[in-house]
Amino acid sequence: MRFWLFIILFFPLSGVAQNKIIGRVLNAPDNKPIEKATVLLNNTTIGNASAADGKFILYDVNGGKYEIVVSAVGYETYTGSIFMENTDVDVKDIKLISKSIVLNEVNVRPDAAWFAKFDIFKKEFLGSSKLASKCKILNPEILDLDYTNNGRVLRGTTDDFLIIENPELGYNIKYLLKEFIRDTRNGLVFYAGSTLLQEMKGTASQKRKWKKNRQKAYEGSQVHFLRSAIGNRLADERFEVLRLVRDTSKGSGFLSRTQYLVKQPLNVTDYIRHTDVRTLFAMQFKDCLYVMYKRRRNSESDRLSMNLKDAPRHEASVINIIGDFAAFDLNGVITDPHSVINEGAWAKQRIAELLPVNYQPPNDN
């Protein structure tokens, strides 16, 4: 059985008032302005480029906590946290540090071995869904892909943004890949990066299709589940949660072959806690959570892959917490992605299903 850990670092919290973020991008040694630096709020549709004087403005930012990312050719990427309240924020000067110059760098044309690695990367990064089959990476040549650990682990990074077209959801995605890992022995896929999603221009018909597909991608997702949990709408949204017990003493590795479901549904208070921060919540529970989305059916192969032959025939995901708890915000975003490992339906959702954090389904009140 395989399990997956995904890292996309973003920390925004929803709010009401929309304001702007103002700042300036400078070269660290001499404080000269940097033009055309990319400035974005991670995993949102909010981004801009710095002007000739280094200044930038990010518009229409809801209140909450965000990760701001600044990237420019030849410079180290800057990341920092911003907390928005009911006022504009001036982040003053963001100073970028030049990258070390690599001498005698040779550009090697991709060969058959590289394309084989790229095919693996594309399947794990974009996914294997119908949405993924329509996605295109327009500049794959910027990927640095190599095997380590005697060919067991495939690793990848980029120095610039991958440009990805997702014509089924109507987004152009800029993804700065900090790290990608595919570990075949442990069945682990891990990726970390910074993301900007930009709306595609389209006809009225295309926009209707995108609206429908985005809602479908949202429904049943982990974000949908967590938002429903803190909004006390789990039953209305057709989620049901069971306790999954695993006997790790008889298994090897993280997943055990000995496991069973406790058929009595859990109440949200059994696994969701308030914290001392008004806009943060915590998942805390014993064993694992088995989350069913009852608007969709689970296939026989999916149930067998989790070694649960007697499981209900609903689409399901398993949440495993690494540590004492997993914190998340009002947007349904896990604030420390290292704290959770997902299995089942959520483990299959990749970049092809990615929605911006500020996405709201059309039927939300």
The verdict on residue 251 lying in a domain is yes
Between 74-88, 212-226, 227-241, the lowest mean confidence (pLDDT) is in: 74-88
Q: How many Å apart are CA 77 and CA 119, to the nearest integer?
A: 27
Report the chain's mean pLDDT, rounded to a whole number.
87
What CATH number corresponds to the domain at position 86?
A: 2.60.40.10
In order of 62, 83, 198, 332, the CA distances from 21 in angstroms are: 11, 10, 18, 23
Q: Indicate the residue type of 9.
A: L
Picking from 177, 203, 229, the residue at the C-terminal end of a domain is 203
C-beta atoms surrounding 156 within 10 Å: 21
Cβ contact 301:288 at 8 Å:
no
The answer to whether residue 129 sits within a structural domain is yes
Question: Is 41 a member of any domain?
Answer: yes
Residue 121 forms part of a structural domain: yes
Mind listing the pLDDT tens digit for each residue in 209-221? 999 999 999 999 9
Point out the domain boundary residue: 96, 130, 154. Answer: 96
Domain membership flag for residue 69: yes
Report if residue 273 sits inside a domain: yes
Domain identity same for 282 and 337: yes
Q: Which pLDDT belongs to residue 15?
A: 42
- pLDDT of the residue at 108: 59
What is the SS3 assignment for 4?
strand
What is each CA distance from 284 to 63, 234, 266, in whole angstroms?
27, 17, 13
- Phi then psi for 270, rounded to 5 degrees? -75, -15
Q: For residue 204, which phi and psi values (nearest 5 degrees)? A: -60, -40
Is the distance from CB of 173 to CB of 167 less than 8 angstroms?
A: no
Residue 310 scores a pLDDT above 90? no
Check if the beta carbon of residue 48 is closer than 8 Å to that of residue 57: yes
Domain containing 170: what range? 112-203
* CB contact at 8 A, 135 and 126: yes
Note whether residue 309 is domain-resident. Answer: yes
pLDDT at position 248 is 67
